[in-house]
Structure 1
Amino acid sequence: MIARPLAPLWLARPSRFATLTPIQARAALFALAVLLVATLLALGTPLAPRDPAPEPGDQTDIVLYQTVVGNVRHGGNYYRVTAEALRGGDYPLRPFVVFRLPTLAVVEAALPDAAMIALLYALVAATALAWWKRLNSAFVRASPRIVAMLVLAAGLVTFIQADLRYFHEVWAGLFIALSLALRRREDWLPAVAFGLAAVLVRETAAPYLVLMAFFAILEGSRREAAAWGLALAVLAAALGAHAHAVAQVVHPLDPASPGWAGMLGFGFFVKTMAISTALALVPLWLAAPLVGIALFGWAAWADDLGIRMLALLSGYAAILAVVGRTDTFYWGLLVAPAMLVGIAFAVDGVRDLIHAALDQRRITVRRVVR
């Protein structure tokens, strides 16, 4: 049995699910139901015990970063002042990755606070504009485009808080979102440049580079794959230099990190997405399924960006589920900016799945022998 695709409701072309067979569509609907139920695991997922209802961005960590920036601004060596700040705040100093890369702190120390706030707002505006242009051809009418931009704004609302400019994940997350929106099969260099900027601010953005290199290889774009590989090589060199510099200021008796094998599960990812966006304003029992609908929507959009975004979100869901800790919820900021846009694609996806699952028409092919 072959389902006859319906004309799209919102999208410019049918969703990825429009041509599924009834059996496939029913299986997909069942998977969607399981996903939505699984998102409710967030209701029982803890966050950092020192702050039972934290805002996106731990204020204690912000004070740490402010201290580092202030000391560097007054002539201090980044690694020495960071080590002192970590000791003063009873933070671990080993392994070397507990020290943030110096990129953001050095830039913030060199510029006035007003300039950094202006840069943050400019980056948010550039990200929104890039996504507007990218989504302009995805929808057939102005109303769904407006809905898509509204849910994008809901994802960006956290990133316009000036106090969070000290958070490395805020800048890296915006760079990733901008990179995704700018990437074109025939013009990928700006995407690589902003992807490199993301990892040089926060090395935990490295899975994004790996993912983009992987998709470039699948598409047979050797030059693009090489460019993403070169960006990874630059990151590796930067991390090597960073590790050497950290080793010069760490003492043998300095405390080590307890590790990152939090094993908090899928619900932790869902909760980080909720508190990293405007979904923090609604009850978690409502916010959690909306995260699931957004994931489904990215799967429904029959565009290479849709599958890239789904893979990126799935990858960080796995990372947060396995190695995230209750006090590292801010890792979700790396993929939060555009996550909710998937909700706009879910409308056609759900309609197409239901239509395909209920379709009973059969196409019989007869062979005529003359």
Structure 2
Amino acid sequence: MVLISEKTNYIVTSTIALLVSIIVFSLSGITKNHILMPMNISLDIFTEVNFVYLFISLVFFALSISLQSVYVLKSKSIDFKLLIVPFVGALAIFVFAKLSLMMIFLGLSLIIGTIIISYSIKNEKEEYKKLSAYKISTHGASKMLLLVAILLAVTVYIQLDSDTSYARNTTDNLLQTTTGLSRENLTDIDMAIKEQQRDASYAYIDALKDTYVSTLETTGDLTEAERKTCIDAFQNDLDEFDSKSKEAIDAQLEKPSDFNTTEKLSTVVTMLDLLETMYPLLIAITLFAFLSTLNSMIIVPLVGLFSWLFWKNTQKPAKKEDIENYLNSNAETKQAKDSYYEN
């Protein structure tokens, strides 16, 4: 009866830890766009995402896995009651993160992962002469988390491959960041650049004219009549300066340039189109590599540490009465054998 109560306690505690992990993760600020469009992430992520919550979520996730590991270690055979934990976790994911293809695969990976960790620990437990909770639990957790990483990467690939808007948004953002232009402005970029240069030069000339006129208007040594005469006379010179300057600017801009901006940018666009084509595979591989690193550096060691602590605390030293009973039993058995052979 004590064993059943203890095992039930592991299931309940593991379920609670998994629920806490999911809830805290949902509060961390991580969104689907952070996963599907990581290239668009800016420094704003440090204000958008609560990394303390993320770490707490990982700790409770590792705690849940370690409790499942110890549960299997203490069981004589595979106990599918342990599947209660991932099933409840999957339901919580659907509630807090909404039902989507990615969430379905994540919930499925938790369920299959629990089955994998159960069989892995059971098989290794039979192979080890001396039970090592740390090694066995980390091996099982590694296999489980590998499956989670693979399924999530596959899900991301499927979603990005079926919805190209994420790739187009990313490449458009890269083009805007590097050139300050959009795809619609690339049809005749050289003409657009010349128009910008012409407008800027014209604006500079107009500003000079206004400055000269403003200087004359604020000169205090002239009477109103003298000031008007000077402005009218100077205005003619300014108009001539304006006309000749703008003609010179137009002539300069009409000259052919050795640097064809449109041709150069077409190479950039070609590279962005290639990136757009490879985007689903690139993001899926990046996500898998990131999750694998996260698992090996943080989650798996935490699972091993928690499992070792739980296992150590549950292994109570034998009582003095139990040892004496065991020795007396052996002595009685030996005495019975000796008596049998003597007769």
The TM tier, using the shorter chain, reads under 0.3
TM-score, length basis structure 2: 0.27
